[in-house]
Amino acid sequence: MKQERIRADLAIIGAGSAGLSVAAGAAQLGLSVVLFERGEMGGDCLNYGCVPSKALIAAADAAHAAREARALGVGVSDVTVDFPAVMARVHKVIAEIAPIDSQERFEGLGVRVVRETARFKDRRTVESESVKVTARKVVIAAGSRAAAPPIPGLDTVPYLTNESLFELTALPEHLIVLGGGPIGVELGQAFRRLGARVTIVEAMTLLSKEDSDAAAVVLDQLEADGVTLLAGHKVVRIEPGPVVVAEGPQGEVRIAGSHLLVAVGRTPSLKDLNLEAAGVAHDKGGITTNAALRTSNPRVFAIGDIAGRGQFTHLAGAHAGLFVRRALFASPINADRLVVPRVTYSDPELAAVGLTEAQARAQHGDAIKVLVSPFADNDRAQAEGDTRGFGKLVLSAKGQILGATLVGARAGDHLAVWTQAMTTRLKLSNLTGVIAPYPTRGEINKRLAGQFYTPTLFSPGVRRLVSVLKRLA
């Protein structure tokens, strides 16, 4: 096939969250844009990640809420789960959101969309089977995909990843999950609440990157749901069945299941890009970029998961915004200064931004302050009958916000206060003066901020001052 030759202002590889955001912004600013995507428009988040997983979790939470409704005085009998109907709704949600990311919408914006595998021809040329594009700038936004660990026997048995999980039409009898990070915990709990037996196998500690006290609240709920948690168990081999053989504190254990889900992390999608032809440096963590997201080839930028700075859809969107500011408006940017929140969408949710308590102590020693407020002291949580969890604020000795963690129902919805505060470097005093609507779970944020001033406000010195002022008045 003869290749069509195209000159463009911008060539983008990957139509996931990051690539689509750049394409839309650049096209609406009048630039000529060519967008390559060999898979589904919308990338991993829409088709295999954020959207379908949250739709599945919604169904699982509904089933759990129905079973637990009697605690609120509501009798619900014969709770059943129609798994094919659940999965049909998952795909319906994807289909409802898909037009926003569709090829038709972007072509309507003036973007040339090429649904083929893209690779570098040279330092400024990207080609596919049918086109060869010479561009002023190139953006690599190819994302990441589920990693397959080098476990003996894994390649001899069928296994699921997030890319195939949502194609199930029958509920697994016993789902074995390899990996106790956010994805493994979220999906493991969801499938258990939908009726499957679930075992999560993790070589280290489950949710090890999060505050250990907050993680414990989530893991307690998983165990209450009936999920079997095998922390500190290193998988040594996989046998047909599937059977997972792991080495744990008490020796070797064998776990026989009906389905195997591999959720041990993600790896950048570097394959087939021919980065060497473009002079783009990379390693197993992704493409090497500077703070402006520029690669070793000054014409080429990398954003999103493949840039090796974190694997969150909201971070990919932030990268896209930075690229547009830098490349199109020549504004100075620094991707290293982004304050990036994270949420594990379990029940209860675990939401965090900045440093955990352990990370702060490792960096600052004991020169930190840790403030904790339990949801048990929150009137809305009491009214809803769900007081699980707490808020934790980690501060420097002078009150600078180093990190915040919330664990509880819908915790992710209340984290933005701390992300904004850290991004704009707000002082705690700016938060204590805010009126929080009552009764809401968000009141916990004001309570946390206020705790910093409590020892001073009610100190003996202040009490003496009030006594003097009282007599003068």
Question: 222-257, pLDDT tens digit by residue?
Answer: 999 999 999 999 999 999 999 999 999 999 999 999
Name the E strands within 141-217: 144-146, 174-178, 197-202
Residue, of 460 and 50, whose pLDDT is higher: 50
pLDDT in tens, 14-56: 999 999 999 999 999 999 999 999 999 999 999 999 999 999 9
Dihedral over Cα of 190, 341, 43, 129: its sign: negative
pLDDT at 330: 87
Give the 3-state secondary structure of residue 141. coil
Cβ 363 vs Cβ 394: under 8 Å: no
In a shared domain, residues 377 and 449: yes
Comparing 151-165, 279-293, 321-335, 376-390, the range with the smallest average pLDDT is 321-335
Domain C-terminal end among 264, 291, 325: 264
- pLDDT above 70 for 396: yes
Domain with 417 in it: what CATH number?
A: 3.30.390.30
Q: How confident is the model at residue 157 (pLDDT cuts 50, 70, 90)?
A: very high
At 460, the pLDDT band (50, 70, 90 cuts) reads: low
**Does residue 280 lie in a domain region?**
yes
- Position 471 pLDDT exceeds 80: no
Q: Is pLDDT above 70 for 469?
A: no
pLDDT at 89: 98
Exposure of 129 by Cβ count < 10 A (0-12 exposed, 13-18 middle, 19+ buried)? exposed
Do 168 and 296 share a domain, yes or no? Answer: no
Sheet of 228-231, strands arranged across:
228-231, 197-202, 174-178, 259-262
In a domain, 471, yes or no: no
Could you say which of 312, 337, 362 is where a domain stops? 337
Residue 258: inside a domain: yes
The encoded tokens of residue 32 equal: 């000529």
Residue 433 forms part of a structural domain: yes
429 within some domain: yes
Residue 443 within any structural domain of the chain = yes
Residue-number span of the structural domain to which 393 is assigned: 348-455
Contacting residues for 18 by C-beta, under 8 A, at least 6 apart: 139, 141, 143, 303, 304, 305, 316, 317, 319, 320
3-state SS, residue 243: strand
pLDDT tens digit string along 302-350?
Answer: 999 999 999 999 999 999 999 999 888 889 999 999 999 999 999 999 9
Angle between helices 182-193 and 212-225 (to 10 degrees): 20
Any bridge partners for residue 201, and if so which?
Answer: 178, 230
What is the domain count for the chain?
3
Indicate if 225 and 108 belong to the same structural domain. Answer: no
Do 324 and 441 share a domain, yes or no?
A: no
